Amino acid sequence: MSRSCASSTTPRRASPLPTDRFATGVHRHVRDTVSPVRRYLVLVTLVAACSGEGSASKPADKSTDPERKLAGVFPDRFQCESILKPEQVAELLGAVKANKLDSAMSTPKGIPQPCNYEVVMQSALEYWTFDFDCRDRMKERADALFAQYKRTSAELVQQYDQMSDAGMVKPTDAGVVVKRPDDAVEVQVGAKALDHHGQGLLFIDDDAPCYVRVIGPDAQRRLALAQAVAKNLTFANAPMTPRPMP
């Protein structure tokens, strides 16, 4: 309690002038009538003031601050259209149309459904996919995939070359020539990227804590699609448990 509250007393009554008996009588009457009310009002005012002094407002809890911004989208609520719309996918791949396909497969906890597309070309149908992993320790898993894809790509190339040298590589019954597998090569996407097996591209994003896989039948268009995904993927819209903005 403040000093002013602890030491407050009822003000002393002033004495009337001794030479004015009429004023003295009137003053005494008014004093005796008004003073109890005045004392009560003064007391109420002091109690209210002291109560306010004793209850200082607490600082706002930052953890419940409604203006604190969070980043990320819960993986089970993630929408592929937040990265690329189907018409953008079609344009990037030089297609007539791209139809978004729903996946019936379940995914591990923390992984969103993959973005699958049936791509209508002028004379054929193609199937393209991109998916995300933004879970904790994603870089550790991505680095393991980089090593695995480099190794298995090299093994497939070596196997093909051995079969070709032995005369065992021949066109199929439909006359389709079996192509030599592509070597795994590093490409310019995000922070680190690898095109592998002649059908996939893996990259670690440069501003979102995610790695992304792009699958499709053409290396040049894989690169174009991966670069568009990397451009539109941000810390704010990444499919991950929401967390404070950095």
167: helix, strand or coil: coil
State how far the Cα of 80 lies from the Cα of 21, in Å rounded to an integer: 96
State how far the Cα of 111 lies from the Cα of 152, in Å rounded to an integer: 25
* Lowest-confidence region among 160-164, 192-196, 213-217: 160-164
On the question of pLDDT at 191 being above 70, the answer is yes
Place of tokens 């203006």: 67
- The predicted pLDDT at position 31 comes to 45
Q: Is there a contact between 225 and 128 (Cβ–Cβ < 8 Å)?
A: yes
Q: What DSSP character marks residue 75? A: G
State what percent of residues in the chain have pLDDT above 90: 63
- The predicted pLDDT at position 16 comes to 42
On the question of pLDDT at 221 being above 90, the answer is yes
Q: Is there a contact between 97 and 82 (Cβ–Cβ < 8 Å)?
A: no
Decide the pairing of beta strands 185-186 and 192-196.
Answer: antiparallel
189: helix, strand or coil: coil
Place of tokens 């501003």: 207
CA atoms within 13 A on the CB side of 12: 3
Place of tokens 């093994």: 155
State how far the Cα of 205 lies from the Cα of 233, in Å rounded to an integer: 8
Q: How is the chain split into domains, by residue range?
A: 3-53, 71-168+179-244
State how far the Cα of 191 lies from the Cα of 136, in Å rounded to an integer: 17
**Closest to 159 (Cα-Cα) out of 185, 178, 144, 187:** 178
Fold category of 71-168+179-244 in CATH: Protein Transport Mog1p; Chain A (3.40.1000)
Q: Is there a contact between 205 and 233 (Cβ–Cβ < 8 Å)?
A: yes
- The predicted pLDDT at position 169 comes to 86
Query: What sign does the CA torsion over 98, 99, 103, 107 have?
Result: positive
Run of H or E residues at 179? none
Model pLDDT for residues 79-128, shown as the tens digit of each residue: 999 999 999 999 999 999 999 999 888 999 999 999 999 999 999 999 99
pTM of the model: 0.71
